[in-house]
Amino acid sequence: MTLTEDRPGRGPRGGRPRPPAGTRSPSAPRALLRWPRAATPWIFLAPVLALFGVFKFWPTLWGMYLSFFQVRPYLGNKWVGWANFRTAFHDAALRSAVEHTVIDALVTVAASAVIGFGLALLLEGPARHLRILRTAAFLPVVTAMVAVAELWNTILYPGGYGTLNTLLGHLGLGPEPFLSSPHSSLASVMLIQVWKSAPYDMVIFVAGLAGIDKQLYEAAAIDGAGAWHRLRHVTLPSLRPVTTIVITLGIIRGLRVFTEIYVLTGGGPAGSTETIVTYTYKQGIQNNQLGLASAVSTVLFLVTVLLTCLTLWWRRRKEA
Amino acid sequence: MSAPTTALGLRMPTRAWTRTAVRAVLYAAVLFVFVMPLWTMLATVFSGSTLKTGQMSLFPGHFTLTNLRTAFRFGVGRGLLNSVIVTGVGLFLQITVSAFAAYALARKKFRGQALVLLAILATMMMPEEVIAIPLYLVLGKVPDPLGGGDLLDSYSGLILPVVGWALPIYVLTGFMKTIPVELEEAARVDGARDLRIFFQIILPLCRPALGTCAVFGFLMIWDQYLLPLLVASTPHMYTMTLVVTSLSSSQEQPEGVRMAASLMLMVPSVLVYLGLQRLFERGMLSGSLKG
């Protein structure tokens, strides 16, 4: 209703008493738009909650449920207890996928942060040419991951004709196999991921740098601190909150890496770039092991929840 | 920059010309690493010279549109159309439902509010990658509101799962909280109800935040890969990302054609970014700094 709490029973104009909440207005079309006041927030929230319910919570809960079944499309599901989890735990392919995922998440997040920080130091400032350079360097971030993967698939083509190999050839190096060898495939994927995410970190750090009080630098300079000491004792501590957020969110997001891996290598060669999500996708969609895939996804979900809660708890404790 | 120190306070090599030279080299390196690959994509698409697999052009010698035309013959047109439909409708719905939800969260106090906030936070831990398999099963069960059948291989299936997204809800809730309540109270005294206040007062004032949400929502929906991979099974439902990957997995097309498809996937995002850069950076920073 239109009434506010502090003016009970008073109408819009002239103090005419209003009908109590919930009564129908005499004009029929407007009556459709009337509802009890307590329902208002729920009506505004209804579309989002319905969508989340159907496309987020239902699949999540169903996935947890399926984890305990052998899913058989026409025969009905068969309860198998913890068997899917046990199978997953003993699967060497999954174990190496977990390994790749963790390495990939940690290395790319750390490398992006370091390179992004370097870029920010180089390109920070209000000058026009710096703005243009920042905009240019940011282009990989907005480019769809699929296009980035396609592009780098060609650049990293293994033969001597490959674009980067041609370049390396001029320098007397290579040719490198890049994505086509199990020894260098994961490193090549990580290179591409860092290429796409380092400029993102750059923009965050640029904003962080701009927020540092310039007087701190002057004070440090007067105290005789050299460039390195100012970086070490003024810049880095000031950026610590931003950095922890960039890193924790990056790692949590990194655990669910899929698109770039699937498009670049499909998890190969010889499983050398298999990650948790490419593994579940293959088990679930290609091998029809829906129960096993659900079990792995459930564990991934729970780990994500745990890490997110830890991050939130840790940040709140720091702020308090 | 003319000042002897950078904004950071790091003194670069003492003599001015050395400093300038070092910076210029570093700038060139940045451009080479981050822009050159994208440039070679462009050059390859418009180059008529024959390239071996894995080769790319630095300059479009013998300018040609053949690669682009071939790419369009192999589904790029349909892919673009599908992506535009999915992104356009999805973005409109995403912003609408997010604004509705944000209004309730920013302006109302009600029982269960904490639970709703918790639920929204929880959805951030349920991306397609984590729920892919059961999501696929759900999509096979939910009827398509636009007609017979389920959500698999339908526009609804490509659109509806991306409509609910926590980020624009957070951005808009935060923004609406900064709008002074007095503006609404004046309208309430005049007899306006929630729906009218929402549409006539709140939404117009939210324009900057809506712009930010639009940029992020566009990129989020445009770049979708796993969801279309689950949903679209017939090529005429392929979005641009699927067209690009299916063109390349066929391996029969020359680099120029495959790069042409990738370019068509990339150009809209780049245009949106360049056009709305300020909105984009503001949203990115509010998202990451304030969390």
Note whether B183 contacts A: Cβ–Cβ < 8 A.
no
Cα distance between residue A160 and residue A155, in whole Å: 11
Nearest-by-Cβ selection for A297 from B131, B142, B244: B131
Out of B53, B142, B191, closest to residue A2 by CB: B191
8 A C-beta contact, residue B283 and residue B171: yes
- Residue A146's closest CA among B217, B261, B251? B261
> Which of A146, A153, A293 minimises the CB distance to B225?
A146
- Which one of B30, B135, B261 has the shortest CB-CB distance to A122? B30
What is the spatial distance between Cα A150 and Cα A258, in angstroms, rounded to a whole number? 15
- Comparing C-alpha atoms, which of A19, A24, A21 is closest to residue A36? A21
Minimal C-alpha gap between A242 and chain B (Å) = 6
What's the pLDDT at A167?
A: 84
- Quick one: CA dihedral B261, B264, B267, B268, positive or negative? negative
Give the integer Cα–Cα distance in Å for B131 and B137: 10
pTM recorded for the entire structure: 0.85
Measured between alpha carbons, how far is residue B215 from residues B40, B178, B273 in Å? 26, 21, 7
A56 touches chain B (CB under 8 A): yes
The C-alpha angle with vertex A288 and arms to A284 and A291, in degrees rounded to 5, equals 65
% residues pLDDT > 70 (chain A): 88
**Taking Cα atoms as reference points, which of B181, B212, B195, B197 lies closest to residue B282?**
B212
* In chain B, where the domains are located: 12-64, 75-289
Residue A16, pLDDT above cutoff 50? no
Q: Which residue would you say has higher pLDDT here, A118 or B4?
A: A118
- Give the per-residue pLDDT at A159: 78
What pLDDT is attached to residue B9? 54
Task: Give the per-residue SS3 of B195-225.
Answer: HHHHHHHHHHHCHHHHHHHHHHHHHHHHCCC
A291 contacts chain B (CB < 8 A): no
A63 touches B at CB < 8 Å: yes
pLDDT tens sequence across A142-185? 999 999 999 998 888 887 778 888 888 888 887 888 888 888 89
CATH architecture observed for domain A94-319: Orthogonal Bundle (1.10)
Under 8 Å CB-to-CB from A237, ≥6 apart: which residues? none
pLDDT at A133: 93
Residue A319, token pair as written in the block? 């702020």
Query: Residue range A24-32: average pLDDT?
Result: 51
Q: What is the DSSP string of B171-189?
A: HHHHHHHTS-THHHHHHHH
Q: Which residues touch A219 (CB under 8 Å, ≥6 apart)?
A: none
3-class state of residue A85 by DSSP = helix
Q: Is residue B164 a contact partner of residue B221, using CB atoms and an 8 Å limit?
A: no
A62 touches chain B (CB under 8 A): yes
pLDDT surpasses 70 at B35: yes
Question: Residue B74 above 70 pLDDT?
Answer: yes
Cα atoms in the 13 Å half-sphere on the side-chain side of A133: 25
Beta carbons of B289 and A54 less than 8 Å apart: no
User: Which pLDDT value is given to residue A53?
Assistant: 95
Interval B167-216: pLDDT, tens:
999 999 999 998 888 888 888 888 778 888 888 888 998 888 898 899 99
Q: What average pLDDT does the segment B121-125 reach?
A: 90
Across the interface, whether the CB atoms of A162 and B54 are under 8 A apart is answered yes
Query: Is the complex ipTM higher than 0.90?
Result: no
Tell me the nearest-neighbour CA distance from B30 into chain A, angstroms: 7
Displacement of CA A138 from its chain's centroid (Å): 17
For the domain B75-289, what is the CATH superfamily, name and number?
MetI-like (1.10.3720.10)
* pLDDT at residue A4 is higher than 50: no
**Is residue B132 within 8 angstroms of chain A, CB to CB?**
yes
Is there a contact between A139 and A288 (Cβ–Cβ < 8 Å)?
no
The verdict on B244 touching A (C-beta cutoff 8 Å) is: yes
Report in angstroms the alpha-carbon separations of A102 from A106, A200, A270: 6, 21, 18
Question: What per-residue confidence (pLDDT) applies to A177?
Answer: 86
B11 — phi, psi (to 5°)? -85, 125
**In this predicted model, which residue has the larger pLDDT, B21 or B252?**
B21
